[in-house]
Structure formats: C-alpha cells, structure tokens
Homo-oligomer: A and B are copies of this chain.
Amino acid sequence: MTEPSQPYSNLLHRSREIGLIDSASQLLSWDQETYMPPDSLTFRAEQLAHLGGWTHRLFTKPEVGDWINACEDHGFPADSDEVANVREWRRAYDRKTKVPAELVEELQRAQAFAREAWMEARQKSEFPIFQPHLEKLLQLSLRMADCWGYEQSRYDALLESYEPGARTVALKTLFSELRPVIAELGRIAGERSARLPADMLRGQYPIAAQQAFNREVAEALSFDFKAGRIDTTAHPFCSGIGPGDCRLTTRYNEADFTESLYGILHEAGHGMYEQGLRREAHGTPLGSAASLGIHESQSRLWENHVGRSRTFWEHWLPRAAKYFPELTRFSPEEVHASVNRVEPSFIRVEADEVTYDLHIILRFEIETRLIEGTLKVADVPHVWNEEFEKLMGLKVPNDALGCLQDIHWSFGSFGYFPTYMLGNLNASQLFHRATADLPDLQSQLGHGDYSSMLGWLRSKVHQHGQRFEPLQLMRSATGEATQARYHLDYLRVKFGKVRDLAS
C-alpha cells in the first residue's frame, strides 16, 4: 500500500494556493464591473490572463498528476472527504491536461475576435458578421470535445465543463417532456395575462429607497452582510470572492422597483449558497459549489418559489410601502399577479418564469444539432426564427432580437445553456421536497421567517460542496435525480392560479 498522506496534503496545499490566487482574480473581475476606471481595461485583461495562466501551470504540473495517482492507488474510504476531493481533482486535472496548449491558445484568440464580431453583429443585427467566428468556435469546441473524450455524445464532453455527470440523452428526454407542456402553458397564461396592464406597478421609486428595501429583504433571507455586500452594475451577478466575502450586484430602474429587487433575490440565492460552503475548505472541491445547475437552483428557488409567491407579497408589501408610499394603492394579490405576468417576448433575460424555459429549450435544441452536425451555422437564424415562432407565436423581426441576443456563443460556451433549465428543475424539486420535510414551511415563509428554508438548503445542499456529483446530490437531497415533473407541477399550479384582475 502506498503512503497517501503526503501526496494528499500536497494536493490540499496546491489547491488552497490556487484558491488564494483565484480569489484575487475574482476581486479583479468584480472590480472591473463595479469601480475600475476605464483606462485600465487593457492592463486588467493582461493581469487576469497572467494570474489565470499561473494557476493553470500550478495545477497541470506533472507532480500534480503523480499525487492524484498516488491517492487513487491508496483507495480512501468511499465516503471520506479525501475520496471526493481526489475525484474532483482528477476530473479537473484530466480536463486541463488533455487539451494541448496550442488548442487552448487558439480558442482564446478565437474568443477575443468572436466577442468583438458578436458585438458588431448584434448592434447591426447582421448574423453574417458573426457567422465565420461561430463556425470557428464550433470547430474548436468539437476538437476540445474529442480531446476530453466521451462515451455517447460529443455534447456530453462539453456539458461536463458546467454540469459534471450530465448526459445529452437524459437532457433530451427531459427537454422533450417539458417542451409541449410549457409551450401550452405559456400560451394560456400569456392570454390571461394580456388582460393585466403590463405597467401596473410603474411609478417613481428613488434608488436610495430601493437600496434600503432590498437590503432589508436580503437581511431577512439571512444573506450575511458581514461576509458580503451589494453594489451596482449593468448586469446583476454574484461573485464568491473568498471565504467571508461574497458580493452581489443589481441594477436600478427608477420606474420599477421590482427589477432591482428580483435581481437581489436571485443573486442572494447564489450568494447564500456561497456563504453556506465550508469556509475552511476554501479552494478545495469540498469548499466549492457542485455545478452551475445546482447554483442556479439556489437563485431560482429564492427568486421564484419564495420571491414570486403570494405569501411573499402578503408579508412584504406593507414593508415595501414604507419605502414607496405609492404602493399602498395595491393589494398583495395585485403585486403578485403583476410580477407573475406571462408574455412571450424576444429577449431571454427579460422573460417571465414560464416563457424563460422556452428560450432555453430552443437554444439547447439548436446547440445539440450544431454539435451533432445536423445543423449548419449558416442556417441558425432561419431555424431559430422558425422554431421561435412555433414555441412563442411571435415572428422574430431581426437577429439581434433572435439568435444574436446572448453572449455565450461568442465565448464558445456550448453546453452552458441547459444548466439554466436544470437550475429551474432542481429548484422546483428541492422546494417540493423541503415543503414535504418541513410542514410549517409555508406558514413560516408567510411570516417572513426564512430560517427553516435556509437551514434545509444548508444541510441538504450547501455544506456538501462537491462531495457528491450534481445528480447524486439531488438524490441525496430529494430522493431522486433531477426530474421534469416537479417543475411542471409547480408551473401548472402557479400559473393556473394567477388571479385574472382584468376580468
């Protein structure tokens, strides 16, 4: 038997060292979006590339491979911390070392050009400007997938970057189960919502008051401001900078306070996950989030299952009215109906909870066809527009409102989009299970008491980090792997119940 303690502690040490440096990169990136003066953009990009290159070299040294081999040969107990960490180091090491440096560099160059081309293409709404870049990125992604290897589908190899253990065939089954039901629900709820004025809550909501109200809500959820903060950016995000330091951002629309509020509810969901990871395990797999699909389940659970519920507004509307006196003219039911208004629209990030899923389904279908070679890049706009009309009943007027809207493809991020759907499915499944496990949950939520909800997520999800792969984590938390039916049930019940105020 080999003596694993030294190789394992070497790996721990290296992993934590990389965690320290990655955390500096996180701060540099956060700062770039929040406070950095514009003139230092080029230098900041150099800095981030340098730190990223450094951690890449630290983790891909042959000694790291030797340490992992030694740990694997030793055979730690199946449920030990060690075995989980070693499994994830192996995964990361293989993915980083299987791709030749030339291919990584070629991809980085292609991404830089593609991003610029995408920006121009979107601005002019001319897909042909972006097309050769997307073709190049697709070709490079296929080469990456072949380096990484896969059993059934090349798309599996790409998915693995974002959602370890997810398989294309399983996702296709899920998505085909979801598609007709959600499309139908979108139509029905959309028709009903059409009788509700779109701008019902429109008013004058001073930014300082929005900030104070959002903070009160985030504190009530238990987002920890001793270990976090909120700033303003063009696009909301959450950055887990390091242990004891998780930062949320949102944006403010003076005419609509719900925009910043739901930004914060979403990002605080991510943030409480980060804050629930074990601080002492920072930099190691056990101190890291399980996957994008699990991360997104946390944000969507707080944003939608908690934040877009009727009980939420029963509790919070009187409190919101202290900051925004004009809200006194609304009932909780009216605000609830307004923030759950369903209307097919072109832009994913502005979509309601029902039609949002249709955007993801569409992009997943197109992505998998591109990777499987059954769709040419040149045909993407045509297919997009055709399928979009089938799903949403809307004619896409131009590519900027269609297949050019999202930035992901300009990074070559094929395989990222399905994690948005997994997030929604996992959120519904976790919330369903929590409701069963905690009989008083609905009443607590109605009183603005979120401690049981958060405690349940802490114990079932947060504290485990990457101890389990995502599907195994869902099994451990809910008794089964990710299913479609809890999300469908949730949507059916909720969007069959929205009060029809105009009738």
Cβ of A40 < 8 Å from any Cβ of B?
A: yes
Q: Which among B37, B241, B242 is the interface contact of A229 at CB below 8 angstroms?
A: B37
Evaluate whether A24 and B35 lie within 8 angstroms (CB atoms) in the complex, with A40-B245, A43-B282 already known: no
B226 & A38 in contact (Cβ 8 Å cutoff): yes
A21 & B43 in contact (Cβ 8 Å cutoff): no
Q: What CA separation (Å) do A31 and B31 show in the bound complex?
A: 9
Q: What CA separation (Å) do A383 and B196 show in the bound complex?
A: 81
Evaluate whether A20 and B35 lie within 8 angstroms (CB atoms) in the complex, with A27-B27, A40-B243 already known: no
Give every chain B residue within 8 A of A228 (Cβ-Cβ).
37
* Residue of B whose beta carbon sits closest to that of A275: B39
* Residue of B whose beta carbon sits closest to that of A36: B245
Copies in the complex: 2
Q: What CA separation (Å) do A96 and B162 show in the bound complex?
A: 44
A37 & B243 in contact (Cβ 8 Å cutoff): no
Cβ of A298 < 8 Å from any Cβ of B?
A: no
- Smallest beta-carbon distance A282→chain B, Å: 7
Q: Which among B36, B43, B229, B242 is the interface contact of A43 at CB below 8 angstroms?
A: B242
Binding site for B on A (CB under 8 A): 17, 20-21, 23-24, 27-28, 31, 35-44, 46-47, 50-51, 224-229, 231, 241-247, 282
B20 & A46 in contact (Cβ 8 Å cutoff): yes
- Smallest beta-carbon distance A28→chain B, Å: 6
Q: What CA separation (Å) do A11 and B40 show in the bound complex?
A: 24
A226 & B39 in contact (Cβ 8 Å cutoff): yes
- Smallest beta-carbon distance A12→chain B, Å: 15
Give every chain B residue within 8 A of A50 (Cβ-Cβ).
17, 20-21
Q: Which among B37, B51, B225 is the interface contact of A225 at CB below 8 angstroms?
A: B37
Evaluate whether A40 and B229 lie within 8 angstroms (CB atoms) in the complex, with A20-B50, A31-B31, A46-B20 already known: no
Give every chain B residue within 8 A of A28 (Cβ-Cβ).
24, 27
- Smallest beta-carbon distance A290→chain B, Å: 22
With most chain B CB atoms within 10 A of its CB, the pick from A40, A226, A227 is A40
- Smallest beta-carbon distance A114→chain B, Å: 25
A244 & B47 in contact (Cβ 8 Å cutoff): no
With most chain B CB atoms within 10 A of its CB, the pick from A20, A225, A228 is A20
State the majority secondary structure of interface residues on A. Answer: helix
Give every chain B residue within 8 A of A224 (Cβ-Cβ).
39
B51 & A24 in contact (Cβ 8 Å cutoff): yes
* Residue of B whose beta carbon sits closest to that of A38: B226
Give every chain B residue within 8 A of A231 (Cβ-Cβ).
35
- Smallest beta-carbon distance A391→chain B, Å: 43
B40 & A242 in contact (Cβ 8 Å cutoff): yes
Give every chain B residue within 8 A of A247 (Cβ-Cβ).
37
* Residue of B whose beta carbon sits closest to that of A34: B35
A241 & B40 in contact (Cβ 8 Å cutoff): yes
- Smallest beta-carbon distance A215→chain B, Å: 14
* Residue of B whose beta carbon sits closest to that of A17: B50
Q: What CA separation (Å) do A241 and B241 show in the bound complex?
A: 19
B35 & A229 in contact (Cβ 8 Å cutoff): yes
Q: Which among B24, B241, B244 is the interface contact of A24 at CB below 8 angstroms?
A: B24
Evaluate whether A227 and B20 lie within 8 angstroms (CB atoms) in the complex, with A28-B27, A31-B27, A242-B47 already known: no
Q: What CA separation (Å) do A126 and B250 show in the bound complex?
A: 48
* Residue of B whose beta carbon sits closest to that of A228: B37
A23 & B37 in contact (Cβ 8 Å cutoff): no
Given contact pairs A36-B245, A39-B226, A39-B245, enumerate 11 new A-B contacts (beta carbons under 8 Å). Answer: A20-B47, A21-B50, A24-B24, A24-B47, A35-B231, A37-B227, A38-B226, A38-B244, A43-B244, A43-B245, A44-B242
* Residue of B whose beta carbon sits closest to that of A35: B229
Evaluate whether A39 and B244 lie within 8 angstroms (CB atoms) in the complex, with A27-B28, A47-B24, A50-B21 already known: yes
Give every chain B residue within 8 A of A242 (Cβ-Cβ).
40, 43-44, 47
